[in-house]
Structure formats: structure tokens, C-alpha cells
Structure 1
Amino acid sequence: MKMLAKPLLSVVIPTYNYAAVLPRAVESVLTQLAEASAELLVVDDGSTDDTRQALDGLLAAHPGRFRIVHKSNGGAASARNVGLRETTGDYLLFLDADDELVAGALAALSEHLLAQPQARLVIGGHFSISPDGQRRQHVPAALPEQPLQRLRAYLLGKRLALSNGACAMHREVFTRGDYPEAFRSAEDIPVFAQALANYPCTLLAQPLALIHKHDDSLRHQFSHAKAGGLALVDEVFASQRLDVRFQVLKPEFYVQRSLSLFRSAYLAGDVAAAKEYFRAALKQDPCVLLKGTYVRKALRLWLGLRA
């Protein structure tokens, strides 16, 4: 494909202390740049491992093929926002540093976007790779036509899964709000939500990325989720992101978020936080008492059977 002065696609790889696997992600993109009108930017979010050396080695091996921005640590949202400001493509694809693009992904995305230029969010599929190497394919099967139903399917029904690395978003999406930097977990939900609710969306029914799963500790995962807590609900439903048409979903999302945090706190052994989140869900919707799995866990907590 002939390269344009302004690329169609900007691939941004935010990275923090992923020196061991970062070359895999970078090279999975570099091998495809000639097939599409695309650029690559790596944003080093203040890494303290050998990331700088790894990037220097990649630059030496691929001179002039990609750019790097080094910044102080601010989290994934901060790094993605730097990528948003420092790139020029009409569409952005954010690839996590421990993942990789499937061969031919950029060419397939470019072809899709040229055929459907109205799209502001393209939802592709992915392969999930478990720690033992098992691979599962996830391909989007259906996309509700109405914005409210799309949003419901994503936030509440879990029938619409979006993954970084397997989606491309037009810059126009970010005029409503960029990635909220106060959150170190689930920071992509507000952006995906505003894209689904307010802009034309299309499906690309093939895998675009390899998403590598990790055995991160439950306590480590929960510490980030707890820091954002229920404030994420207000961020998702902020008026500039989702107008009055979509606010009807907020109470149910609040309950779902509360129960999700309850479950994470329970598994991490944070009894006080688990009780707090269960109370929040119950106060919002007494029907939570009909959710047997959650109620059984809550009873164990209040009976002192879970330390």
C-alpha cells in the first residue's frame, strides 16, 4: 500500500517495565508498517527496568521506523494520552506492551477503514493466550444497531467485548474526553463507552491481536481497582461522555461495579472493602439479595468464615 504523508493509522504502545516482552510487541507492528499507511509510537511511562536499553536496541535494528517518547510515570491512561497528542493518524490503535498484533492486522484494518470511512470505532477480534500457552479465539459476532443497546451490551450484558490492540478509534472520539488519568485500572471503559454511544461503529470479524493473560496477584490487581473504586461510575457517565439518553443505565452499572469490586475484594482477602462494596450494591438495589453467588460470599464474610 502506498504510504501517505499523513498516516491513516497510528499504533501506540504504552509501556512500563515490560523490557522482557516489549520487543515482541514492537516487532509485531514493524513487520506490518509497509502493508498499511501507519506509524508506530512507543511511550515509555517512566520504566525502571531495562526498557530504555531494549528500545535503544530496537531503534538501532530499525532506524527511522518508529518513534519513542519517554515520560515520568503516570499510568496507562497518561501514556495513552501522550500517544494521542504525539501521533498524527486519523485512527488510533493502542497495543499493550505485553501483547502483539496478528500478522496482517494493519492491512486488514486499513482495507476496512477505506471501505467504511464513516466508522469511528472498529471492533475486531483477538486471540487470548493463557500462561500455559493455550490459545482461544474471540471474534465479535453481532453489534446492536441502536447506541443505547450497544452501550448496554458492553457495560451490562457483557455480550460485547472490546480489547485494546483489537480496536481502532478515530480521533473524533476523543473530543468528548480522553483517558481519565486518575484511574490506574479500567481506564479504557469510559472511552470505549463514549465511542459506542456516540459514533458509528463497525465490526471486523477477524482476530487482530494476541492478548497474553498473566497470573498477576489478586492483591495487586485489586489495589488498582480499589483506588478507582466506584468513582469510575461517575467518570463513565460524565455528561460530556454520555448525555441524558444514556443515564438510564447508570444505576445498574453502579450495582454491577459494586459487585465486581466486592468479588475482587473478597478474593483478595480485603474484608472491610468487600463489606463496603456489598452494602453499596444492596443500598442501590435490594434485589442484590437474589444473586445467590454474591449473597453466599457475603454471608461468609459476616459470619467470619472468610479471613
Structure 2
Amino acid sequence: MAINSVGSILSIFILFATLLPTQGFSPSPLSHNRRSSPRLPLRLNEGGRAGVADSGLVDANRYNVDLEKAAGIVTASVQAEKSATRAPGVPFLDSKDKDYFIDDESFLVERQGGLGLELLELAGGRDDGFGITIIENVVEGSNAEKAGILAGDSIASVGVPSPSFVFGSGEIPADVRDCECRDFDTTIGVLSSIPADASSIVVNVKRVRRWPKIQLRVEYPKSQCAEGVSNVKDIELFAGENLQRAMLNRGIILDDPGQGKCDFCGKNSCVVSVYGGRKLLNPMGLTEEKLMERNPRCRLSCKTTVGYNMQEGDINVRVNLSQWKEDKDSSS
């Protein structure tokens, strides 16, 4: 599957669009255990970018990666069965590395003077037009730079807004043209197909981001540990993971016969005590608040999400809580 080195300039839409030789296109099957990428509330920036809302949330752009890293991470995946968001057998941009994810961003970009993008084909040469094309460079001072598009982004689709279209409102342009996981020529063809009288376009891109991490310190009751074995275990979690499931998946033993069963998960070891990093957890629901009124340090692990709002940092918890009382009683 050879790819020829080709240079191309599209003066109306793209400046210095460049195609370079690289590896072939090889879609990989979608892992059913893949985490869903975080989704944050959007707002309209001055440059025409839909970004993170001003409500104390972490700006997801702090987890962006550079062009070289993005080019080495992106791949194309397909799924066998139809889902609510994807058709079966159609390639979509994915990450090869579990420490990174593909996020969605949308930008309103003016067309006067061109977009100002250099495109790089990472994979192509197929008869069906599928491949991987990313943005190699955003020209300084260009419309694309002003909007917020970055090198390493991949154009997923472009939309032609109607006169009444309001960017950032959640409305989808009626005329959307897809180019996700397409080769260079197909991507250029989509951009070239935009009507000349459209003064701006909505550019939807896929952006590679690093998963924010949580360093979790778990403390066991000493009575549950063999002599000479530390009662502290440090593990790493991804932001957005469920606390209980994440601990169990990483070998934390939740065993507390003296604790009552949780009404939600049915486990007798669900309640944990949080001694640090509480602000990194999701807020309690009304029911959990009522249950924990007398135990303000405690959370139901089955209802707790770590790294809330894409935060990262350190969290300390104690597990198997009734056994801690037994430790205290036996030492007194």
C-alpha cells in the first residue's frame, strides 16, 4: 500500500497542504472495554472555539499532546455492531495507547483568506478513500489559529452553517460533510466542496489528549495484613473511573463482614473513608448525602467517581472500615 509524496496548495481553503509518505492504513478492532472520553460543558470563545465552561472545571487543553505524540498515537478502529453513535464497519479515529483518548472539539472558522492549515497524510493509498490525515501545521495568524485549531488535530467533518445558525448553542449545521479517517485527497475533496458563498464553516476535529491520572493511596486495617506486610497500597487510576470498580480491578481486597450491605451495590464493604483529595471526587447525590450525614468523611465507593471534571491529583482512602474499629479495640 504505497503512498506517494505529493505537495498541494488549495488557496481558498488550505495553505501549504502537504502530503508525505508514511505507514499503511490498518484498522484495528474496537475494544469493548475502552473507557468513554470525558465530555465537558461548552462555551463559545472569542476566536470561535467551543471550549470549557467557566464553572471551576479543568480546561481539557492542559492535557493536549504535541504533533509528534499525536501522530504516533492515532489509529483507525471499527466496530462490528451498530451503536447509537456509530455505524458498523466504518473506521473512526482511535487511540493506540490506553493513556490517551480522542476528544471532540468544534470551531467556527472564517474563510476569507483561507483556513491556514497544512495537512499530513499518515495512512492512505486505498481505493475506498479511507486513511488517516492530520493537521501538520497551523499557519501563524491564520483563521484556523484564531479559532483554536492545533497541529495534531484531525478534521472529522465540516459543516456549512445556515444564516440562522448560532455556534455554541448545540445546534448542528444542516449541511455536514464527513471526512473522519479519510486520506489526503478525500479530505481535500470535502473541504473543496464547500459552497463559495459560505463565509464561515464549522470545523469538527478529533484531538488527542492525555488521560488525567489519580494517585490513590489505599489503607487497610492492620489486622487484615500479614506480619511484615504494609497496610498501604498505592495505585494509579484514570479520571472518570468508578472508585469501587477501579480498586477491585487493581487487586484491592474489599472485605468487611462487620459492615452492612450497601443498598445500591449489595456489597458489605462499599463505604470508604476519604482522608485526602475529597475535592477530586464527584459531588454526593441526595441519597448518599442522607446516608453519610453522621459520617462526613465517608463515601459510597460504588457511587464515587475519581478525577471529577478532569481533575488529577492525590486521594487517600481507608477501606474495610469496621475492621479499623476492631484494630482500635484490640490495642486499647
Query: Structure 1 length normalisation: TM-score?
Result: 0.21
More strand by share: 2
The structure with more radius of gyration: 2
Q: Taking structure 2 as the reference length, what is the TM-score of the superposition?
A: 0.20
Kindly indicate which of the two structures has a greater share of residues assigned to helix: 1
